[in-house]
Amino acid sequence: MNYQEDLKKAVEVLQQGGLILYPTDTFWGIGCDATNAEAVRKVYELKKQEDRSSMTMLVDSDVRFNSYVEEVPEIAYDLIELAVKPLTVIFSGGKNLPDNLLNEDGSIGIRVTKEPFSWALCQKFRKPVIWTSANVEGEASPGGFDEISETILGGVDYVVNYRQDEVESPVPFGIIKLEVDGQVQIIKE
């Protein structure tokens, strides 16, 4: 299957409320339509996680922030632009998203992906896509595709073929929490 067919199939599965396993700018991840509460529930079920455990949304551009965040501090755009590695920003006041995706305090983690497949996926899908590590709660995050468990492989509706044979180490990423007033709290460097 070529790249375009892989992308098309992944988008179709997302549109139908299914789960995909796909490469990102950090680790391989489990993905679904971030705006679909039932799809989000299926991710929690597959990972054996409690609802409202924190998950990240991937978007193709910071222009999407305003659709899913009540108030985006101006500094957010500078932080994303200047980041030297993938950066998840936890924003206060998520909106237009299912309750089971928002953290208990109403916040939401969003990362602008720059990896070719996940970027094209978000752009073609036109909605945010969930990214959460491809492991069951309590197990180590897989370093590469070949370390993903049969439970995860068998629990998704589509496994992307692109980049499966790569043996590179996962890219480290940062996490910050950004308050409406612009205060930044570093969660993970």
Do the beta carbons of residue 102 and residue 94 sit within 8 Å? yes
Number of continuous H segments (helices) and E segments (strands) in the chain: 6, 9
How high is the pLDDT of residue 132? 94
Total residue count of the chain as it appears in this document? 189
In whole angstroms, how large is the CA radius of gyration of the chain? 15
Quote the crossing angle between the two packed helices 116-125 and 3-15, to the nearest 10°: 50
- For 116-161, how does the pLDDT look when each residue is reduced to its tens digit (9 = 90+)? 999 999 999 999 999 999 999 889 888 889 999 999 999 999 999 9
- For 101-111, how does the pLDDT look when each residue is reduced to its tens digit (9 = 90+)? 999 999 999 99
- For 41-54, how does the pLDDT look when each residue is reduced to its tens digit (9 = 90+)? 999 999 998 776 77
| Edge-to-edge strand list for the sheet holding 29-31 | 158-159, 20-22, 29-31, 129-133, 56-59, 108-112, 87-91, 174-178, 184-188
Asked whether residue 176 carries a pLDDT value surpassing 80, the answer given is yes
- Which residue's structure tokens are 């205060």? 183
Asked whether residue 11 carries a pLDDT value surpassing 90, the answer given is yes
β-pairing, 29-31 vs 20-22, is: antiparallel
Asked: is 3-188 a CATH 3.90.870.10 domain? The reply is yes
- For 64-87, how does the pLDDT look when each residue is reduced to its tens digit (9 = 90+)? 999 999 999 999 999 999 998 999
Q: CA quadruple 12, 13, 14, 16: dihedral positive or negative?
A: positive
- Model confidence at 95, pLDDT cuts 50, 70, 90, reads very high
Query: Could you state, in order of their start, the residue ranges of all structural domains in the chain?
Result: 3-188
> What are the φ and ψ backbone dihedral angles of 19, each rounded to 5 degrees?
-110, 140
